[in-house]
Structure 1
Amino acid sequence: MSGPTAQGMAQGTAQAGITMGHLALLGLRRNPERPAFVQEGQVWSRRHVAAGIHALARALQGFGLRPGEGVSALMANRPEVFMLRTAAQLIGCRYTALNRLSGPADLAHILRDAEIRLLVHDPAEAGRAHAAAEASGCGLVLSLGGGGARDLLAAAGAESDAPFDPIGDEEGLGQISYTGGTTGQPKGVMLPHRALVQCATMMLAEYDWPAVPRMLLATPLSHAAGSLVVPALLRGGTVHVLGGFEPEAYLRCIEAEGINCAFGVPTMIRALLAEPRLSRARTRMLETFIYGAAPIAPATLLEAMERIGPVFMQLYGQTEAPNTVCLLRRAEHDPARPERLSACGQPMAGVAVKLLAEDGTPVERGTPGEICVRGRLVMRGYWKRPEETAEALRHGWLHTGDIAREDEEGYLHIVDRRKDMIISGGFNVYPREVEDALATHPDVAAAAVIGVPDARWGERVQAFVVPRQGRRPEEAALAAHVRALKGAVQAPKTVVLVDALPTTPIGKIDKKALRAGFWQEGTRQVH
């Protein structure tokens, strides 16, 4: 064995509290021969996954990784994403997810800002990974498969897979997850193990789980979907992984594998409703469909409940307080109470939630206020951004930026977002970043970006562009320009050329005026 011994890895390291490594290994120890993952006909037993995690952890140490250092990955959606993240956390490292749809500048920014020590990539992503690492100063790049001296899987194959205790403590950083804002570049959310463990245990306690989950995940395990893996394992379940979402393949998997639990975003629900081969027979085994990450129109939800089944459960959270702030349970999706379908649910056990005014005082029931959160779930702060941390955590609460009202039964209904963030297909799009990308085009004098209602995506990215004098850029070319710089998610779906942008009396672009033609006055400014 070329790496350190199991005993040596566990000695001399102070531990306090439970880490995600503890929870993951506990789930894998239960019924070790039961499948942990299934993908494309391949089955990973819990024993195999646990052994692979321990071997990967030793290989990471063999490449010089130490507690507190950053690990990131540019990989397809497959079980090894979970294994790598858990291996990194097992030796006290912090993990940062990358979105494969991101453009090269965003990848390099995250690697640089998070001070990533190691970037792991699929063989197919070698070119982009090495380019991003070189641009960011990330000094260690390893392939996960493909052979050669820089292959992490090959290195793990030469290591012992004997178990050892996790290194670290509950206040150590388990993840730095990147979110964005209406200004500037994405910022890192510091999530210590106590927040990640709190999220997992709240899921276990409050979600509408089948007795033994057969869970289907088609969205990235590196992001929100990955947080469901450990709870599913702890409940004795199996996670079925798809490389991506395609409605017919998704339905085929539900039917063939007897899937009884799934997670997705509203865009996926809309796509399933548009699939000609959708039928209740194909989804007859489904007990719970967990959805979140974006609002959904009540009319769409009613149709889904009729055609797919009474299976839907909504989660509400954000990166700074992941996945477990509010919950609208299956039984609360009541067609006889359609007004409730616009709610994001009631606060979950384990967090304190209040609607606050600008001065930090609670608003009266029925009056809109900002959703604010307290508890072990809440982030430590923004990585290397003390001023933004102080602003987000002012008055002793995490300020989510979402404006909601509370009804007489204690359900929260989101009516607007304080920030200009767009949620398109479950992905966050930040207008300033799209505007900045448009501004780099030689034919663009000015640009403003908003989200507008879209039947497929929930919201679509809509750009208003003022051309430079004497220029008339092609709208498709402007969208392609943003796609090349920022990736497909942030590319505008529609571009409108205008002579001028509306402004407020103090000279700021008046986005409320731009939205007026798309959003009905007085309604929710989310879709």
Structure 2
Amino acid sequence: MSDTRQHPVGGLAPVSRRVMNLAHFLTQAARRYPEEPALVMGDRTLSWRALDQRVSALALGLRAHGLEKGDRLLVQSRNGFEMIETQLAAFRLGAIWAPANFRIAPEEAAWLAELTQAKMLVVGPEFEHHRRAMAAAAPALRLTLCLGETPEGGDLGYEALVAAYLGQTCANVDVEHDDPCWFFFTSGTTGKSKAAVLTHGQMGFIVTNHLCDLMPGTEQASDASLVVAPLSHGSGIHYLTQLARGVKTVLPSAPGFDAEEIFALIDAHRITNLFTVPTIVKLLVEDPAAERYSAASLRYVIYAGAPMYRADQQRALARLGPVLVQYYGLGEVTGNITVLPPQLHSADDACFKVGTCGYDRTAMQVSIQDEAGRELPPQESGEICVCGLGVFAGYYANPEANAKSFRNGWFRTGDLGHLDDEGFLYITGRASDMYISGGSNIYPREIEEKMLTHPDIREVAVVGMPDPRWGEIGVAAVVPREGAELDLAALEGWVKAHVASYKVPRRYHLFDSLPKSSYGKITKQLVRQAVERREATP
């Protein structure tokens, strides 16, 4: 796997870009800890040796049906052992793992099949409509593997294919730094999803960086991890860090969020780390189950995907102790932009940089830039841009998006923020979230932070809406705390006392819950649509 590129330093041998195949992490764990538990879900446990054998069997079966290096393996499934097996089998073959979020609609799944031109599909039994839509959209699809016991028509059963090759070994294919290993699908909240291309070399850096910055000291003998988010995205990256250290990973059995089960698993398995999103942290610490189980084993509760409001941080610290780790990063940068470790979290505002998402990750660089690409000094707001080995290779088959996303070698996140004098980053919001009212730029996050300190508010989102006089005005969608009765006139008076007058929302709507994306995030587009429907109703 050599190439003919010349080394940039004269007189040295040509550049070699060969890197470790990510599946070698599994090879290492199976050698070192063959009988130790690798995966646990309900009453089922897989040892590292058994997992390695199943991944080899699956890889051989897929290869026998035509999956080769560079081909795409599309997966539509809920969390389970199979998600991890498909990931590692694809890596082992040098194929590209393309996992869809299980919450997407069939028409979205069809677009992913069309975009990737997947050669093979693994699909759960509850996704029959998705399977049909994907098959119709991807003429290159050669094989569909069905999870469960009753595959359709000419499709094959997943377990039958694994059983046919169990006991045979499959070597990890040689790979180079830029060989794709994962199509990481964006959420598509402002249009069709895009496939961010992650590579073996890039992901090797990401795993190292996660272990360095997010979970230092993680080891096989002392740690256990819990999956609390879809493995198709951030949790799948988090899993690779556990794989690299031979750490046991536990998966909940419930098909959806179940705080009781999560806390029971933390207690029973002495869970030391988990990755999730702020919304789930909030739901966990507010659930009565938090008082019925011990969470003393936790060392790292890592949250990302969206900012966590200050009031929620304080409640989580009070309930769980000094275990919070925040990181900021998009799928395109594989979650690898900033980190705020446990020792820099505090419930005391006097001891905490309120609103920060931390400082640059190891070997990554953050730059705040204006619209012309000029770097701005500390305290000045602009677009958050980033460079480093964590940045993805680009969007698959989307040159227009690539051209918009990169400038002078910097990846443009589309987020707005500023750095302080020490290099800590503060996110103002998405550029698309900002609205202009009476000539003033309004950033909803600042208003939302204040409103969430109200004792009777559970969730809030502020969006800009058209207004004939001011151009745009703020409209607040508010979810009261359980049992609370919010008087909107009184609430507006409270907001006026806590927020600058030109930032005060002009209208307020009460909701039982705010709409969330398939990734569990409160997105302004969905909130705006809900407000529009509410205001269109007489």
TM range (shorter): 0.7 to 0.9
Q: Where does residue 410 of structure 2 map in the other structure?
A: 397
Aligned partners of 1:208 and 1:329 also within 8 Å? no
Q: Where does residue 120 of structure 2 map in the other structure?
A: 118
Q: TM-score, normalised to structure 1's length?
A: 0.76
1:31 pairs, out of 30, 33, 45, with 33
The 5 A counterparts of 1:104-503 are 104-137=106-139, 139=141, 140-146=143-149, 150-159=156-165, 160-180=167-187, 183-209=190-216, 210-211=218-219, 212-243=222-253, 244-279=256-291, 282-336=294-348, 337=350, 339-420=352-433, 496-498=533-535
Q: Where does residue 439 of structure 1 map in the other structure?
A: none
Aligned partners of 1:248 and 1:277 also within 8 Å? yes
One-letter amino acid of the counterpart of residue 362, structure 1 = E
Q: Where does residue 8 of structure 1 map in the other structure?
A: none
> In 2, Cα distance between the equivalents of 1:249 and 1:234?
26
Q: Where does residue 64 of structure 2 map in the other structure?
A: 62
Q: Secondary structure at the match of 1:221?
A: coil
Aligned partners of 1:266 and 1:295 also within 8 Å? yes
Shift, 1:109, TM fit: 0.5
C-alpha offsets along residues 169-199 of structure 1, whole Å, 9 cap, x if unaligned? 2211111122155653111111122222211
> In 1, Cα distance between the equivalents of 2:479 and 2:330?
22
Shift, 1:338, TM fit: 5.5
Q: Secondary structure at the match of 1:334?
A: coil
Q: Secondary structure at the match of 2:386?
A: strand
Shift, 1:409, TM fit: 2.4
C-alpha offsets along residues 205-262 of structure 1, whole Å, 9 cap, x if unaligned? 2223455321111211121101111211322311111144211111111112211212
Shift, 1:420, TM fit: 4.6
Shift, 1:104, TM fit: 1.3
- Structure 1: which 5+ residue stretches go unaligned? 1-13, 424-430, 432-448, 457-475, 501-527
Q: Secondary structure at the match of 1:245?
A: coil
One-letter amino acid of the counterpart of residue 78, structure 1 = G
The range that moved more, 366-375 or 164-173, is: 164-173
> In 2, Cα distance between the equivalents of 1:451 and 1:38?
43
Aligned partners of 1:22 and 1:166 also within 8 Å? no
Q: For residues 281 and 103 of structure 1, do their structure 2 counterparts lie closer, same or farther at Cα, with a shift above 3 Å needed?
A: closer
> In 2, Cα distance between the equivalents of 1:293 and 1:305?
19
Q: Where does residue 443 of structure 1 map in the other structure?
A: none
Q: Secondary structure at the match of 2:337?
A: strand
Q: Secondary structure at the match of 2:312?
A: helix
Q: For residues 123 and 412 of structure 1, do their structure 2 counterparts lie closer, same or farther at Cα, with a shift above 3 Å needed?
A: same
Q: For residues 251 and 402 of structure 1, do their structure 2 counterparts lie closer, same or farther at Cα, with a shift above 3 Å needed?
A: same
Aligned partners of 2:184 and 2:331 also within 8 Å? yes
Aligned partners of 2:109 and 2:133 also within 8 Å? no
> In 2, Cα distance between the equivalents of 1:180 and 1:305?
29
Identity of matched residues, %: 27
Aligned partners of 1:130 and 1:141 also within 8 Å? no
The range that moved more, 402-411 or 306-315, is: 402-411
Q: For residues 205 and 218 of structure 1, do their structure 2 counterparts lie closer, same or farther at Cα, with a shift above 3 Å needed?
A: same
One-letter amino acid of the counterpart of residue 407, structure 1 = D
Aligned partners of 1:145 and 1:152 also within 8 Å? yes
Q: Where does residue 4 of structure 2 map in the other structure?
A: none
Q: For residues 43 and 401 of structure 1, do their structure 2 counterparts lie closer, same or farther at Cα, with a shift above 3 Å needed?
A: same
Aligned partners of 1:74 and 1:99 also within 8 Å? yes
One-letter amino acid of the counterpart of residue 141, structure 1 = T
Instruction: State the superposition RMSD in angstroms.
Output: 3.3
Aligned partners of 2:186 and 2:194 also within 8 Å? yes
The range that moved more, 80-89 or 243-252, is: 243-252
One-letter amino acid of the counterpart of residue 261, structure 1 = N
Q: For residues 68 and 233 of structure 1, do their structure 2 counterparts lie closer, same or farther at Cα, with a shift above 3 Å needed?
A: closer
Q: For residues 453 and 370 of structure 1, do their structure 2 counterparts lie closer, same or farther at Cα, with a shift above 3 Å needed?
A: farther
Q: For residues 249 and 450 of structure 1, do their structure 2 counterparts lie closer, same or farther at Cα, with a shift above 3 Å needed?
A: farther
Aligned partners of 1:97 and 1:222 also within 8 Å? yes
> In 2, Cα distance between the equivalents of 1:455 and 1:38?
38
Aligned partners of 1:402 and 1:417 also within 8 Å? yes
One-letter amino acid of the counterpart of residue 208, structure 1 = M
Shift, 1:29, TM fit: 3.1
Q: Secondary structure at the match of 2:265?
A: helix
Q: Where does residue 50 of structure 1 map in the other structure?
A: 52
Aligned partners of 1:147 and 1:154 also within 8 Å? no
- Structure 2: which 5+ residue stretches go unaligned? 1-15, 435-443, 446-462, 464-473, 482-510
C-alpha offsets along residues 354-386 of structure 1, whole Å, 9 cap, x if unaligned? 111211111111111222111221111111111
> In 2, Cα distance between the equivalents of 1:452 and 1:246?
26
Shift, 1:345, TM fit: 0.8
C-alpha offsets along residues 436-491 of structure 1, whole Å, 9 cap, x if unaligned? xxxxxxxxxxxxx99956679xxxxxxxxxxxxxxxxxxx9xx99x999xxx9969
Shift, 1:414, TM fit: 0.4
